[in-house]
Amino acid sequence: MRRHLIACFAAVFASHAAWADDMRMAVTTSFENSGLADVLLPEIKTDLDLDVQLLVVGTGQALRLGEAGDVDAILVHSRAAEEAFVNDGYGTHRREIMYNDFVVIGPQEDPADVAQAATITAAMTAIADTRAAFVSRGDDSGTHKAELKLWSEAGLDPAAFGGWYRSVGAGMGAALNTASGMNAYIIADRASWLNFGNPGDLALLFSGDPALFNQYAYIPVNPARHAHVRNDAAMRLEAWLTGDRARALIDGYAINGQTLFVFNATPE
């Protein structure tokens, strides 16, 4: 009986081991929600014969997955956290791939007059001064960290905000749904906003400040720490992501005529 059970389990495991070339990459919700993944993955499959399995999580969780060795590479956007990840030896190196930008979304009536603000700092201060409803991701994601950085640059501390500051602890799409329901301001990445299907009365109010620059970087998980990670596949993927094929696809990806990402990987 026991022998049969072991044989059964062995069969189950073997079926997983038999999968050809595949690797797991943790990416941020903003990357997946932008729709760019649907463009890149089939091309990667064709060019490299590599199945990239995406785990769509916040940057915080993506880094945790990398630390535990549960993924082979991560593609995230939070520079300080990424550099700490590499310095602690969890990743081999950090390679910049592309950037997009954050935008301020809010109700069309715009009670805080964000659309008229000269800088993002002025816009954030205006929202805090009017005490207009604001939805925060609150999930330790790259977008959340960027939002916290914007508050601190404006000399404000979200911990001291009142009930108008609502931390929802959810992904980009879910947070946008919440903002749409409450007609609140929110910081989102442009790609997720353009792809969002339930805008309600919300509109893009402010963008273009250099402080809203959002750099995506690719980090292969260190095989010295986790011997099982598919570093060969991760390196092949990096070569592809920084190559001309990826440049054409990333720069060419547009929604409603708006380009979403700018490729900025430099050859080694």
Q: How far is CA 83 from CA 51, 80, 171, 179, in A?
A: 27, 5, 23, 31
The reply to whether 172 sits near other proteins by the rule CB under 8 A is yes
Stretch 178-207 residues interacting with other proteins (CB under 8 A) = 180, 195-199
The reply to whether 13 sits near other proteins by the rule CB under 8 A is yes
The reply to whether 226 sits near other proteins by the rule CB under 8 A is yes
The reply to whether 48 sits near other proteins by the rule CB under 8 A is no
Provide the minimum distance between the beta carbon of 32 and other proteins in the complex, in angstroms, as a whole number.
Answer: 8
CB closer to other proteins, 53 vs 152: 53
CB closer to other proteins, 85 vs 196: 196
> How many residues touch other proteins (CB under 8 A)?
30
Stretch 53-92 residues interacting with other proteins (CB under 8 A) = 53-56, 67-70
Which residue among 228, 256, 266, 267 contacts other proteins (CB under 8 A)?
228
* CA pair distance 118, 189, nearest whole angstrom: 19
CB closer to other proteins, 122 vs 203: 203
Provide the minimum distance between the beta carbon of 208 and other proteins in the complex, in angstroms, as a whole number.
Answer: 24
Which residue among 27, 28, 31, 33 contacts other proteins (CB under 8 A)?
33
Q: How far is CA 114 from CA 106, 135, 201, in A?
A: 8, 15, 15
CB closer to other proteins, 24 vs 77: 24
Residue span binding other proteins (CB under 8 A) among the ranges 102-110, 157-165, 172-180, 252-260: 172-180
The reply to whether 108 sits near other proteins by the rule CB under 8 A is no
CB closer to other proteins, 58 vs 120: 58
The reply to whether 214 sits near other proteins by the rule CB under 8 A is no
Provide the minimum distance between the beta carbon of 96 and other proteins in the complex, in angstroms, as a whole number.
Answer: 26
Which residue among 176, 191, 205, 219 contacts other proteins (CB under 8 A)?
176
DSSP string, the chain: -HHHHHHHHHHHHHHHHT--SEEEEEEEHHHHHTTHHHHHHHHHHHHH--EEEEEEE-HHHHHHHHHHT-SSEEEE--HHHHHHHHHTTSBS--EEEEEEEEEEEEETT-TT-GGG-SSHHHHHHHHHHHT--EEE--SS-HHHHHHHHHHHHTT--GGG--TTEEE----HHHHHHHHHHHT-EEEEEHHHHHH-S--TTEEEEE---GGGEEEEEEEEB-TTT-TTS-HHHHHHHHHHHTSHHHHHHHHH-EETTEE--EE-----
Look at the alpha carbons of 154, 158, 163, 166 in this order and tell me if their dihedral is positive or negative.
Answer: positive
Q: Which residues bind other proteins (CB under 8 A)?
A: 12-13, 16-17, 24, 29, 33, 53-56, 67-70, 170-174, 176-177, 180, 195-199, 226, 228
